[in-house]
Amino acid sequence: MLNLERLRTLDALARHGSVSGAAEGLHITTSAVSQQLSKLEREVGQRLLAKNGRGVRLTDAGRLLAEHAARILSQVELAQSDLEAQRGQVVGELRLSAFPTAARGLFPQALAALREQHPALRLRSCELEPEHGIAGVVRGDLDLAVVLDWYNKPMALPEGLVKASILDDPAEVALPVDHRLAGRDEVDLGEFADDEWITWGDGEFCHEWLMFTLRSKGVEPIVGHRAAETHTQLALVAAGLGVCIAPLLGRHPVPDGVVTVPLRQRVRRHVYVVWRADADRRPSIRAAVKALRAAGEDVG
């Protein structure tokens, strides 16, 4: 009989591509990963791993067994979901991630409500950018991820994921109080051709969205500063160092020296939560989605 935990270790190695990545994903030591895989090799009587520089790679037998392991583990998760659904109890462990402003704007209320309503449910949360949260759900490291895309730039979801809308998050432009457009009722992005932008890190989804949107308005962006956190961006605006996009979620309090002005063409982020389809019937998933939606309704 193949040992399920050893198959889980092999699956983690195949998904993460390294012993250290598998250990981090499984929350065990690298030596424990190596021991589990050595035992699995003895069980099947074949080499599953081969040296590859300083790391390892899967042999043909290892890849074959890893493919079977992924299917077996998916069926096990489906069986666990069905059993949880039959009991109707919100129990076990739930691992969640959210991008920073959602972690600040949604998680305190939603996770506190879950803890109060379902004390037998263990919650673990972390901040991750949307693409990393989605990857974590696909790999099985996370049960749920709160992610986003923009009204004019949707994010493609991998096959096998399910999503539910949390809220549409309106975004404005944050300006220094003495900016030439600070007193306006609304502005157009095309009016910021000569301004320096404070934006997210290069390659991040929101940064790519901003570059795409400004260029679609005929503006070649001048990027002055980069910061992952909205509050850091707003602090730079308050210092007169540029302008930034300021979504409502997680924005408050706006620092002194900053005003936010609506855009003439309404700009919104779509905030939603994703999970694996084979976990769809888990009561804990449904309870978390309900709590996140309730927190989303209170935004603003």
Structure-block tokens of residue 172: 């404005």
Q: Is the pLDDT of residue 86 over 70?
A: no
- The pLDDT, as a whole number, for residue 104 is 92
The answer to whether 238 touches 255, Cβ cutoff 8 Å, is yes
Q: What is the pLDDT of residue 140?
A: 80
Cα–Cα distance measured from residue 100 to residue 106, given in angstroms and rounded to the nearest whole number: 10
Decide if 205 contacts 253 (C-beta within 8 A): no
pLDDT band at 260 (very low <50, low <70, confident <90, very high): very high
In angstroms, the CA 212 to CA 143 distance is 31
Decide if 84 contacts 281 (C-beta within 8 A). Answer: yes
3-state secondary structure of 98: strand
Computed over its alpha carbons, how large is the radius of gyration of the chain? 23
Q: Look-up: residue for tokens 């991750």?
A: 128
Q: Angle formed by the axes of helices 107-117 and 283-297, to 10°?
A: 130
Q: List the one residue out of 166, 159, 125, 134 whose CA is nearest residue 278.
A: 159
Contact (CB, 8 A) for 177 and 184: no
Q: Which of 105-119, 131-145, 236-250, 280-294 is predicted least confidently?
A: 131-145
Overall average pLDDT of the 261-287 stretch = 91
Distance CA 78, CA 84 (A): 10
| Start-to-end CA span in the chain (Å) | 55
Strand runs labelled E in 177-257: 196-199, 222-226, 244-247
How many alpha carbons fall within 13 Å on the CB side of residue 116? Answer: 7
CA 299 from chain centre, in angstroms, equals 19
Neighbours of 86 (CB within 10 A): 10
Residue 81 pLDDT greater than 70, yes or no: no
Is the pLDDT at 21 greater than 90, yes or no?
no
Asked if residue 174 lies in contact with residue 254, where contact means CB atoms within 8 angstroms, the answer is yes
